[in-house]
Amino acid sequence: MEYSRKLKPSPDLNGYFGEYGGVFVPDQLKDILVEINNSYLELRQDPGFIEELSSLRRDYIGRPSPVYFASNLTTEIRGAGIYLKREDLNHTGAHKINHCIGEALLAKRMGKKKLIAETGAGQHGVALATAAALTGLECEIYMGTVDIAKEHPNVTRMKILGASVVPVEDGLGTLKEAVDAAFMAYLKDPRTQFYAIGSVVGPHPFPMMVRDFQQIVGEEAIGQFREQTGTVPDNLVACVGGGSNAIGLFSAFLDEPGVDIYGVEPAGRGFKDGDHAATLTLGKPGIIHGFRCYLLQNADGEPLPVHSVASGLDYPGVGPQHSYLKDIGRVRYETVTDTEAIESFFRLSRLEGIIPALESAHAMAFAELLAKALPSSRTILVNLSGRGDKDIDYVVENYGERFGIPN
């Protein structure tokens, strides 16, 4: 298969997938990242750790998450069969718990005291606060003020779990500024603190490590799908913010030549600067938050402001492995607007009784378009990355009228 030579499931020794990834951080952090990398490489071979992680996956997260054939939606669309990998059913309601548990266990083994992170929609913050409670570590979460207002239930959840939530007012008050602030706090004491990155982004080894912890999604799905249909899906679809839920599903299928793979980015209000976060579609290679990737940037290489109705998707960078998979043509990256995502949010809710996260609604919207264009003999497996409980107030306030829910 033409790709297998190029697929590079692991980054090289310097943390590069092709020309993307690497380590662009102040010197004081370089040694610490090497330590984290070495500890992780040791840990992932440790039978005790492997056993602990797999029993937590089963008894705490609730894995395996099911693969569900969405027959009502498929009937309505009259095209390819749509299947959902139900990451929305995980404890805490999204895929992020998969890597948070892994990162917390690693931090604990390394003798760290506190987990630090940024959060956009609040999903990573909640998942990390949960993992911190479980492992007995302190937890500090940085969150933009705009996101705090929009995702209030998740803020309350983090506080109940014992985390402190630090509001970030800079710039647009969303994910990028939260990452900046969390990073500054981390730099003050990288010895006792552990920065638990929320996606397959940041300096090496984070993109590899978070990817490895998310691969369980695809490993389960390939067997579950085969059991139900006798074969592999013809198409995979997942939304891409930083890219962790997408790479988690895709990894198991990258060297299956018959599987077409699509990542879906937010086109927001349209393709003007500041109105979207379609990084792989419209960005150019650059450096952000310690690594090289496709980046939405101005002429000076500064990240552009971004927008998406889904807080978990509005990031101007993207994982280095996705950047590489785009260049070699193995994954195609498409876009979906805010409005299309909202329509899919209501369609899945009303046809299947499943309220998706706004992030996942982007994957659904593209999957529906793809399904319409294909015959009923074809199949599409969508990563339903999370549930929409966190989004309901925002959606009803802003779009309720249009869908028969007046204020």
Ligand X SMILES: *Cc1c(COP(=O)(O)O)cnc(C)c1O
Which residues are designated catalytic? Answer: 96, 118, 385
Query: Minimum distance between the CB of residue 145 and ligand X, rounded to whole angstroms?
Result: 18
User: Of the two residues 79 and 117, which places its CB atom closer to ligand X in the complex?
Assistant: 117
Site for ligand X in 203-232 (CB under 6 A): none
- Distances from the Cα of 348 to the Cαs of 84, 152, 260, 345, 387, in angstroms? 11, 23, 23, 6, 11
Q: Which is nearer to ligand X, 242 or 316 (CB)?
A: 242
What's the distance, Cα to Cα, between the start and end of the chain in Å? 55
215 phi and psi, to 5 degrees? -60, -20
Q: Dihedral angle at the C-alpha atoms of 36, 88, 259, 229, nearest 10 degrees?
A: 130
Q: Is 39 exposed, middle or buried (0-12, 13-18, 19+ CB in 10 A)?
A: middle
CA pair distance 407, 394, nearest whole angstrom: 12
Per CB under 6 A, the list member of 203, 243, 303, 320 interacting with ligand X is 243
Pairing of strands 81-86, 114-119: unpaired
Cα–Cα dist 239/387, whole Å: 14
Q: Any contact of residue 335 with ligand X (CB under 6 A)?
A: no
Identify residues 306-325 at the interface with ligand X (CB under 6 A): 312-313
Does 125 sit near ligand X (CB under 6 A)?
no
Site for ligand X in 279-308 (CB under 6 A): none
Contact indicator for 103, 244 with CB cutoff of 8 Å: no
- Nearest Cα neighbor of 269 from 298, 241, 307 is 307
Instruction: Tell me: does residue 357 bind ligand X (CB under 6 A).
Output: yes
96 binds ligand X (CB under 6 A): yes
Q: Which stretch binds ligand X (CB under 6 A): 5-13, 32-40, 149-157, 356-364?
A: 356-364
Helix (H) or strand (E) holding 155: helix 152-160
C-alpha radius of gyration, the chain, whole number? 20
Q: Where are the alpha helices (DSSP H) in 161-203?
A: 175-188
Q: Which of 360, 371, 391, 394 lies at the binding interface for ligand X (CB under 6 A)?
A: 360
Min dist CB 112 to ligand X, Å, is 22
Question: Quick one: 79 or 291, whose CB is closer to ligand X?
Answer: 291
Examine residue 150 and tell whether it contacts ligand X (CB under 6 A).
Answer: no
Closest residue by beta carbon to ligand X: 386
Question: Which of 194, 333 has the CB closer to ligand X?
Answer: 333
Contacts with 57 (C-beta within 8 Å, 6 or more apart), sequence order: 63, 98, 101, 216
| Other Cβ atoms within 10 Å of 387 Cβ, number | 21
Closest separation between CB of residue 240 and ligand X, Å? 5
Q: Which two tokens stand for residue 7?
A: 């697929």
Given the rule CB under 6 A, which of 13-21, 47-55, 157-165, 354-362 is the region that contacts ligand X? 354-362
Q: Around Cβ 272, how many Cβ atoms within 10 Å?
A: 9
Residue whose CB is less far from ligand X, 56 or 264 = 264
Between CA 70 and CA 353 the distance in angstroms is 10
Stretch that binds ligand X, among 49-57, 77-85, 120-128, 336-344 (CB under 6 A): 120-128
Q: Are 105 and 99 within 8 A, CB to CB?
A: no
Total of residues contacting ligand X (CB under 6 A): 21
In the complex, minimum distance from the CB of residue 148 to ligand X, in angstroms, rounded to a whole number: 16
Indicate the residue among 163 and 246 with the shorter CB distance to ligand X. Answer: 246
Among 220, 385, 391, 395, binds ligand X (CB under 6 A): 385
Tell me which stretch binds ligand X (CB under 6 A): 5-13, 72-80, 181-189, 242-250: 242-250
- Check binding of 94 to ligand X (CB under 6 A): yes
Q: Which of 74, 224, 245, 281 binds ligand X (CB under 6 A)?
A: 245
What residue has token string 């592999």?
232
240 binds ligand X (CB under 6 A): yes
- Other beta carbons within 10 angstroms of residue 41's beta carbon come to 12
Write the interaction track for ligand X spanning residues 37-66; mark x where CB under 6 A is met and - where it is not: ------------------------------
What residues make contact with ligand X under the rule CB under 6 A? 94, 96, 121, 123-124, 199, 239-246, 312-313, 357, 359-360, 385-386
